[in-house]
Structure 1
Amino acid sequence: MTNPLFYAKILLFGEYGIIEDSQGLTVPYSFYKGTLKFSDLNSDFEKKSNLSLNKYSDYLEKIDLPEDFQLNIDSLKKDISKGLFFDSNIPQGYGVGSSGALVAAIFEKYSVIKRTPESISKEGLKNLKVVFGLLESYFHGKSSGIDPLICYMNLPILIEDRNNVDKVSIPKQEAGKGAIFLIDSGSVGETGPMIQIFFEKLKNEGFRKTLKEEFIRYNNACIDTFLKKEMNPFFKNLKKLSFWAFEHFKPMIPENIWMAWKKGLESNAYYLKLCGSGGGGYILGFSKDYPKAEKMLEGFDKEVIYRF
């Protein structure tokens, strides 16, 4: 049997807000994927990946996982010595879950108790999220476990609050003029420093107030209207969300995106928002008229991820 592929993920809504208990909506993105493989480690990429896996396995040996979620570390270490590496085209620092896919792949292959995503209940998802948080914290210092959970489940996931997640159906794609798309900022974003900026901002009472009273309200309304396919109220809330982020998340928006972000708000041709923690990587775009938005965003690399 060939090893399963683990896809990247895109957090459509909830960046930063989920730290403060907002809702989040995340979808798998099959353009990027990764899988565990064996090789003779002839290339630098394979050698580096194998070495990283070795260091990661040392970390996994030390953490205390719940009884039902034990990993077979001996088997993992044996495989690493035989040339195991993670073959992935998921870009790092782009907000699409590169470490999440790796964690999901390791959990799937080496967990002592085997599961299938279809069989996992809502309560099971909650427990799995906690375990994935422990497994991924090696890469980020602290992890919510959401990224690996999405990569593992390969389904859209609604983050209801800090502790609860559920599987959800997003409206079926249609060949309309509207689109959700990614813009490549052309630079890599580092999650750690961006999160640091956010926590610094949280110390300010005024920022905390507007985050709770405005950002989280617009964010949750976007999720609600998108899932119900109510596109007019969706875009109304999206504009407010995009404007709020432009005002308050300026340090997280790559400088070469500022003018394009502003142009979208002024023309109403499209709206932009952060994809993940920002600082670089991808930016998310939403437009009712993608051909028009595409023209206005000439010069940027874009990828359509959803049509409506």
Structure 2
Amino acid sequence: MRGPLFYSKILLFGEYGIIKDSKGLSIPYNFYNGALKTEKNPSEEAKKSNDNLRRFIAYLETIDENLVAFDIPAMKAHVEAGMYFDSSIPQGYGVGSSGALVAAIYDKYAFQKITVLENLTREKLLKLKAIFSAMESFFHGKSSGLDPLNSYLSIPILINSKDNIEATGIPAQQIEGKGAVFLLDSGSVGETAPMVSIFMESMKQEGFRNMLKNQFIKHTDACVEDFLKGDIKSLFHNTKKLSKVVLNHFKPMIPQQFHKLWKMGIETNDYYLKLCGSGGGGYILGFTQDIEKAKLALSGYKLEVVYNF
């Protein structure tokens, strides 16, 4: 038995900023995926996932039924029969492993679910986001609901502000293009909750709040607009600014051994790095106008190209 596939996601722009109403752009990343599955002889990994689902069900029973109601008896019966989430999405890497699981559970067990096939009005998108936010909070303590939304719909999502999101199209990839967005493997796992609490603690300082509004959010919004317009020259100009701000003000979210590489990219213009998700480990997102140059500069590291300019 295997259910439909749900994909990982990449938040190209908007990490941390969207908590404070910056723009954001999230795209599906089909390289990784997951599905609900039942097997006769489960592996240790499957048993762990099955235990996790048990706890998740207990949590889902506490969600307000006016927001969303689930077929809990069916879910419990399936979990008893050994159901687990079979996933290739790395956990703690900022590419939405819990989001795909939430999307799969909603798809299979929610009553009166909003489907991908209907006319997705802003109201419906916001309702889905609220449902997914409540569901995914089980994993992170606080969730925007965007990861599961992206995984469930499998289309790019443009975040204009907290209460204004829309499905969007992105410029077609130039497969022959030298420019690229890539993932850089930090080699360690990142935990979302502690990173978010560091951010919330920083938000208590007026200087940090000003920097967020006048620099971080300003550059993030510009990057989103450039990317959607396909204005590559301006995009790299603004990504460089964003990379600088992150290096100066989000140091705890950047694994120590990458501080030097981050700075080197800004100085040489061979590539610019930014956070992928909450940081602290997992993947780092890179932008380059020449992928061969970036590979050379970052030789010894694992790069995965996710989008070509």
Equivalent position of 2:177 in the other structure: 176
Equivalent position of 2:79 in the other structure: 80
Q: Equivalents in 2 of 1:227, 1:239: separation in Å?
A: 17
2:46 is the alignment partner of 1:23: no
Equivalent position of 1:165 in the other structure: 165
Equivalent position of 2:286 in the other structure: 285
Q: Equivalents in 2 of 1:2, 1:38: separation in Å?
A: 7
Q: Equivalents in 2 of 1:58, 1:207: separation in Å?
A: 39
| 1:23/1:219 contact within 8 Å kept | yes
Give the aligned residue type for 1:230. D
Give the aligned residue type for 1:65. E
Equivalent position of 2:54 in the other structure: 54
| Cα drift, residue 123 of structure 1 | 1.2
Using the size of structure 1 for normalisation, the TM-score is: 0.97
Where 2:36 maps in the other structure, the secondary structure is: strand
| Cα drift, residue 2 of structure 1 | 5.1
Q: Equivalents in 2 of 1:169, 1:55: separation in Å?
A: 37
| 2:188/2:282 contact within 8 Å kept | yes
Equivalent position of 1:71 in the other structure: 70
Give the aligned residue type for 1:184. D
| 1:41/1:47 contact within 8 Å kept | no
| 2:11/2:277 contact within 8 Å kept | yes
Root mean square deviation, CA, Å: 1.2
The Cα offsets for residues 99-156 of structure 1, whole Å up to 9 and x where unpaired, read as 1100000000011224431312221001110011111111111111111111101110
The alignment-based identity, stated in percent, is 55
| 1:103/1:132 contact within 8 Å kept | yes
Equivalent position of 2:4 in the other structure: 4
Give the aligned residue type for 1:237. N
> For structure 1, which runs of at least 5 residues remain unmatched after alignment?
none
Q: Equivalents in 2 of 1:118, 1:265: separation in Å?
A: 43
| Cα drift, residue 41 of structure 1 | 4.4
> For structure 2, which runs of at least 5 residues remain unmatched after alignment?
none
After the TM superposition, which residues 134-213 of structure 1 pair with which residues of structure 2 at under 5 Å, given as runs? 134-174=134-174, 175-213=176-214
| Cα drift, residue 200 of structure 1 | 1.1
Please identify, of 107-116 and 76-85, the stretch whose mean Cα deviation from structure 2 is larger: 107-116
Where 1:180 maps in the other structure, the secondary structure is: strand
Give the aligned residue type for 1:280. G
Give the aligned residue type for 1:70. A
Where 1:305 maps in the other structure, the secondary structure is: strand
| Cα drift, residue 42 of structure 1 | 3.0
Where 2:61 maps in the other structure, the secondary structure is: helix
The Cα offsets for residues 145-174 of structure 1, whole Å up to 9 and x where unpaired, read as 111111101110001111221000010001
The Cα offsets for residues 44-101 of structure 1, whole Å up to 9 and x where unpaired, read as 011111111111111111221326x321111111111111110001111100111110
Where 1:117 maps in the other structure, the secondary structure is: coil
Q: Equivalents in 2 of 1:65, 1:211: separation in Å?
A: 37
Give the aligned residue type for 1:62. T
Q: How many residues align structurally?
A: 307
Q: Equivalents in 1 of 2:237, 2:261: separation in Å?
A: 19
Q: Equivalents in 2 of 1:150, 1:117: separation in Å?
A: 11
| Cα drift, residue 215 of structure 1 | 0.6
Runs of 4+ in 1 over 4 A off after TM superposition: none
